[in-house]
Every structure is written in C-alpha cells, then in structure tokens.
A = this chain, B = another copy of it.
Amino acid sequence: MTIYDIAREAKVSPSTVSRVISGNAKVKPEKEELIRSIMARNNFRPNAIAQSLIGGQSKTIGLLVADIRNPFYAALSLECEIAAKRANYRVMLCNAFNDDSIEDDSLDMFAEHRADAIIQIGCRVDDLVGDPAYAAHINSLAIPFVSTGKLDGCNMYTYGIDNAACIDIAFEHLRELGHKRIALSGGRLSVRSTYEKWTRYIYLHGKYGIPINTNYVQESHYDFNGGVECMNRLLALPERPTAVIAISDHCAVGVLSAAHKVGLSVPGDISLISHDNTFLTEITAPRLTGIDYDYKKLGGGLVSTAIALINKKEPPREAFITPTLNVKDSCAKIYETDV
C-alpha cells in the first residue's frame, strides 16, 4: 500500500496525497477528507524509509552505551529516548560492552543507517588518554557526535556532569558531619570523569588543610565486586577511614556489603556516600545517601545538543549539569577526639 494506491483510489495525483501526509501544503478540504478516509480504511502508513531517503534525514539518533544492564545507563538512555521522541526523532540503541570492536562496528552501523547524530555514553569516549585511532574513526564518520564525556582529538560536543562538583558536595556533606578521614572508592583513573573526581578530592584536602592519606584513594571496578575489594583494602589499613565516597551505586553496595561482613555498621561506624542515585540506593539497608543527577535534564541536554547540531546551530562545546545531594540514611555525624 503506497501513496500511488491511495492516489488512484481517490482519483488524485500522488503529490496531493503526499501533501495531506506531510501537511506542508494546502489541499481542498473535501479532497483531504476523502484521502484521509481512504488511508484510514486501508490502514495506510507512510513508509518512513522512503521519507528518510528523499528527505536526506533519517530522524534517527544512534545511541551507544557501555552496557544497558547498568542502571545508570538504563536511566539515562531512557531519558534520551523520551527527549528524542518528543523532538520527532527515533533512537537506535547499541551496547558496546567495553569491547572496542563492537564499539567500532556500532559506529559504522550508525553511519550506514545515516543516523543524523550519535550520542555516546561511557566506553572509550571518556578515556583520559584517548586512542587517536578511535578519535579519527569518530571524526571520519562526519556525523554530529555528543557525549557525556570528552575525547581529545575528537570533533565532538560534551553535555555531561560537573564531576568536581560531585566531590565538592559529597566532601562538604561529610565535613559538616565532622569527617576528616574520607576515602574514595574509586573507579579507574584512566577514565576522565574519575580523574576529575580524584583531582578534586586532592584539591579539597589542600583547601581545608586535611592531610592526605594516599591509601584512602583506591582504584576499583565500578561494580559490586569493585566496591567489596576496595572496602576490604580500606579495612585492612591501620587507621581506617570514617567515611567512604563510592564512585557508583553498584560500587557502594559492595562497600556496604564488605562493611557489614566485618560487623561494621553504616552509618554508625562508617558513613557512605554514593553516586548515581539509581534504585539501588532505595533497596539497601540503610538507604544510601548519594550524588544525584537530573537524568531528565542530562538526557534532554544530550539530545537537544545533538538536534542543534543536526540543524546546523552551534550549541556550546561543553555543558555540565550540576549534581545535587540526595540525603538518605547512610551518613552520620562523627565526634573525633583523636584528630
């Protein structure tokens, strides 16, 4: 069923049918009525593929995430989908699994499907020391490219999170509660967002004249086991920290589990601040205080930056949303006598 079939039945030309569909030209009301009724009766739906071909726009945004099973990516990709839909764009989602070849293939696939823009969240695009070949690959696509991260040598736009502010907020909250021995669990330093958090952590120690215990910053995976291992290392220290900032909720649950395993109470013995504010923070005991993002704003910002680029507008090269603190039950006041 095509516009030609509709046209024949309505005794008009395909052009007229097209005008009814697109709505960007006047058609005599009675004819429009007739055409619409024929379309409805035949269950006709215009072929979006043909529309894309002639229009030169696929109305599709390629969305590449590291792993949709990670609640952070799930929440964010969801908001991207909603924002895209509102702007009459579709999302084509791919998981990269931190596998370089899948990542490359997905980008090529987006290019072949003529995605109007690409949004990438996670993966190599936030490497502190980027792979030049990867940046070159992205550039070669010649498709507007937006990410929460930033890759050197890559023609791209960033709409992300103010990472330093995350640590500012967490640190300040703990400081107000009297904590001075604050640990960071930790993430991988090779990731830019993590690097920015670490440097801010160090900066804040200087600012407040708190001596840095380098053992308090522990590299870890972003998942449950990363948190467990990290916490175990912290617990083995002669003087253990009184508070831990975890790099993700997943990680925080691991920290919590390791603390519980040795009989420590959170927040009684150790306070814990998390990142991402996914549903995980609601299902632990205690519920986790943590850094929260406005996911709607973040997803919306990524999409609107992408769409601005599609429309040849010039959005800011970089924009960052400010995180907030979502206070729940995992932090407590401390009265240190020995400092």
Q: Which A residues fall within an 8 A CB radius of B? A: 43, 45-50, 52-53, 58, 67-69, 71, 74-75, 77-78, 81, 90-95, 108-109, 111-114, 140, 142, 224, 250, 253-254, 257, 260-261, 279-280, 282-283, 285
User: Hey, which chain B residues are within 8 Å of A224, CB to CB?
Assistant: 279, 282-283
Tally of this chain's copies: 2
Query: Is A95 touching B75 in the complex (CB atoms < 8 A)?
Result: no
User: Hey, which chain B residues are within 8 Å of A250, CB to CB?
Assistant: 283
Query: Is B49 touching A53 in the complex (CB atoms < 8 A)?
Result: yes
Nearest chain B CB to A84 CB, angstrom units: 11
Contact partner, A78, options B49, B68, B257, B261, Cβ 8 Å: B68
The closest CB in chain B to the CB of A68 belongs to: B74
Chain B CB within 10 Å, residue with most, of A43, A112, A142: A112
Nearest chain B CB to A260 CB, angstrom units: 6
User: Hey, which chain B residues are within 8 Å of A52, CB to CB?
Assistant: 49
User: Hey, which chain B residues are within 8 Å of A49, CB to CB?
Assistant: 49, 52-53, 58, 113-114
Q: Can you list 17 pairs linking A and B with CB atoms under 8 Å apart?
A: A48-B112, A49-B58, A49-B113, A67-B78, A68-B68, A69-B74, A69-B78, A69-B279, A78-B95, A81-B93, A81-B95, A90-B109, A92-B92, A224-B282, A254-B283, A257-B285, A261-B285
User: Hey, which chain B residues are within 8 Å of A261, CB to CB?
Assistant: 285
Contact partner, A92, options B43, B50, B68, B90, Cβ 8 Å: B90
Bound Cα distance A142, B44 (Å): 11
Q: A91-B93, A95-B81, A283-B254 are in contact. Are A112 and B45 (CB under 8 A)?
A: yes
Nearest chain B CB to A275 CB, angstrom units: 16
Nearest chain B CB to A272 CB, angstrom units: 14
User: Hey, which chain B residues are within 8 Å of A94, CB to CB?
Assistant: 81
Contact partner, A283, options B108, B114, B253, Cβ 8 Å: B253
User: Hey, which chain B residues are within 8 Å of A283, CB to CB?
Assistant: 224, 250, 253-254, 257, 280
Nearest chain B CB to A207 CB, angstrom units: 35
The closest CB in chain B to the CB of A254 belongs to: B283
Bound Cα distance A282, B47 (Å): 46
Contact partner, A260, options B114, B140, B282, B285, Cβ 8 Å: B285
User: Hey, which chain B residues are within 8 Å of A68, CB to CB?
Assistant: 68, 74, 77-78
Bound Cα distance A78, B99 (Å): 14
Bound Cα distance A154, B74 (Å): 30
Bound Cα distance A75, B95 (Å): 11
User: Hey, which chain B residues are within 8 Å of A43, CB to CB?
Assistant: 140, 142
Given contacts A45-B112, A49-B53, 7 further A-B contacts (CB under 8 A): A48-B112, A53-B53, A68-B77, A69-B71, A81-B95, A91-B93, A280-B283
Bound Cα distance A285, B258 (Å): 10
Nearest chain B CB to A48 CB, angstrom units: 4
